[in-house]
Amino acid sequence: MFATYDNGLVLNIRSAPDGDIVGQIPSGTTVEVESVNGAWCKIDGGYIRADLVTLSDGGDSEAAEPAADHAGDSEAAEDSELWEMTVPQLRKLAADSGIEITSSVTKKADIIAAITA
């Protein structure tokens, strides 16, 4: 299986899911995926977020979310600090910024998308 990153500047490679950054993949790069476990792909050298890449095994491909949904996403260097925040911290930031986030929105990615929109 392969993962292609085309969503921004760089994709961080982490030592473990949510671990330390150990490297980066530039946009337009395809890497071999050893395994997929939930939100993370294991690659040679570490882990990358599955929702930020297009997965394929030769013919069909699938993206967890459209690339446009990742403008300002966590792995883009300029907004990485948002992904270090907890959901309650993000909700407070949104409220302090005058952005209404309903209680039905529970995913960190959706809250960050609302903040960076």
State the residue range of the domain holding 31. 2-67
pLDDT in tens, 3-58: 888 877 889 999 999 999 999 988 888 999 999 888 899 999 999 998 898 888 75
Q: Is residue 73 part of a domain?
A: no
> Widest CA span of the chain, in angstroms?
46
Q: Is residue 79 part of a domain?
A: no
Q: Is residue 110 part of a domain?
A: no
Q: Is residue 51 part of a domain?
A: yes
Based on the number of CB atoms within 10 Å of its own CB, is 97 exposed (0-12), middle (13-18) or buried (19 or more)? exposed
What separation, in Å, do the N-terminal and C-terminal C-alpha atoms of the chain show?
Answer: 32
Q: Is residue 35 part of a domain?
A: yes
How many domains does the chain divide into? Answer: 1
CB distance 34 to 18 below 8 Å: no
The sign of the dihedral angle between the CA atoms of 19, 14, 9, 33 is: negative
Q: Is residue 78 part of a domain?
A: no
pLDDT in tens, 52-80: 988 887 544 444 333 334 444 444 444 56
